Structure 1
C-alpha cells in the first residue's frame, strides 16, 4: 500500500502541467501547436523563451518536491525517491487530467536526478549541455541522460528495484522521442539554435517539409 501511495504521489505531481496551463491562459491548447507536446521546449516555440524557462523550472521543481516528499513520508521504502520521481515523469508524459497527452519528461527527469544527488545532476547537466549543443538537437538530451542516470544509479546504489523502475522510464522516454529522430532524418526537427535563429529555423523546417 505504501509503495502504491508513493507512486500515486509522484504521478499526481506529474499531472500538474504549467505549459498546458499557460497556453490555456493565452487562449490555445499547446498540444495543437508547434511540436504538439506540453513541455518547456514547445513552450519556447509557441509562446517564448521566458515562458519556456518558467515551465522548465516548474517541471524540475515538481519532480524534486515529489521525490523529496516521498522519501520523507515513506522512509522505509529504499527506492521511494526514484519511484516517486519516475512516476512524476510518467505523470508528466501520460497525464490522466490531459487524456494521457502531456510532455516528454526532460525537465522532470532533471528534477528526479537533482533530488537523488545534486552533484550527479550538475555533472550530467554539463555533459548534456555539451552533447546537446554539439549535435544541435534537444531530443538527444533526455534519451542519453535517462540511460546514463540509470547506469549511475545502479552503480552507486546497487538497487535492482530502482534500476528496473528507471529502465522502464528509459524505454518510455526513448519511445516518446522516436518521432523526433524521424524528423532529424527528414530535416524537419528544430535545432537548439532555434533559440537565437528562430526565423531561419522556421524557414528551413518549412522548406524541408515542402520538399
Structure 2
C-alpha cells in the first residue's frame, strides 16, 4: 500500500472509531436519559456522571478513551507506520467531536484525546492525565482540568519526542478541544461553571 493510501485508510478507520457514541450507548444500557438532554448536553463521561450513575460514566470514559487508543494501535498493527497511526488517532478525536452518528454534534474529546496520547506518546499522555487529575481534585472543575491538560500536550510531546509532527498533531487536538470548551471558559470566568458531581438539569 502506498503512503497516500495508508493515510487515507488511517483517517477512515480512525474517524469510524471516533464516531461510536459511548455516552449515548452506555446511557441506554443503564436505562438513563440521553446525556444530550440534561446538564451541559455534552455526550461525554462528565455529563453522564450527572445522571447519578458512576458505572455508566465510567463505561463512557473507558469507551471514549479506547477509541483513541485502538485507532493508533490498529493502524500500527496493520504495519502502516507511526505517522499514519498518529493521524488515525487525530481522526478518531475528530470523529468524537464531529460524529456522523450524532449529526456531527459530539463530545469535547477529552477522554479520546487522552487515549490517543497514551497510545502514541505514552509519557505525554501520562503527564496530561496527571495534570487533569491534580486540577480536578483541587478545583472539582472538569473543564479547567481538561484545559490545563490539553495546553500541556504539545509542549510535552515536543520535549519528549523532538518531533514537529507529533507536536503539530497534539497542538491540533488541543486547539480543537479548547475551542469546544469556549462556553466552559466563559462560565469559569463568571463563576457559573458546574463542578464534578453536580446533579443533572435539563440542557439549555
Confirm or deny a common fold (TM above 0.5). Answer: yes
SS of residue in 2 equivalent to 1:139: helix
Q: Which residue of 2 aligns with 1:189?
A: 193
Confirm or deny: 8 A CA contact 2:72 2:86 kept in the other structure: yes
SS of residue in 2 equivalent to 1:130: helix
Give the unaligned 5+ runs of structure 2. none
Confirm or deny: 8 A CA contact 1:82 1:166 kept in the other structure: no
Q: Which residue of 2 aligns with 1:91?
A: 95
CA 1:154/1:32 → structure 2, altered by over 3 Å: closer, same or farther? same
Q: Does 1:2 align with 2:6?
A: yes
**1:121-179 CA distance string (max 9 Å, x none):** 33432232112222331112222222312222222323223322222221111110010
CA 1:166/1:119 → structure 2, altered by over 3 Å: closer, same or farther? closer
- Find 2:164's aligned residue among 160, 167, 171: 160
**1:92-124 CA distance string (max 9 Å, x none):** 111011111111111111111211244443343
TM-score (norm 2): 0.86
Measured after TM superposition, the shift of residue 17 of structure 1 is 1.2
Which runs of at least 4 in structure 1 moved beyond 4 Å after TM superposition?
A: none
CA 1:66/1:95 → structure 2, altered by over 3 Å: closer, same or farther? same
Q: Aligned residue pairs: how many? A: 198
For 2:157 and 2:79, how far apart are their aligned partners in 1? 20
For 1:119 and 1:185, how far apart are their aligned partners in 2? 31
- Find 1:42's aligned residue among 38, 47, 52: 47
Relative to total residues, which structure has the larger helix share, 1 or 2?
A: 1
How is 1:1-211 mapped onto 2 (pairs within 5 angstroms)?
Answer: 1-24=5-28, 26=31, 28-75=33-80, 77-192=81-196, 194=197, 198=198
Give the unaligned 5+ runs of structure 1. 206-211
SS of residue in 1 equivalent to 2:155: helix
For 1:84 and 1:29, how far apart are their aligned partners in 2? 28
TM-score (norm 1): 0.83
Measured after TM superposition, the shift of residue 27 of structure 1 is 6.5
For 1:143 and 1:20, how far apart are their aligned partners in 2? 24
For 1:141 and 1:10, how far apart are their aligned partners in 2? 25
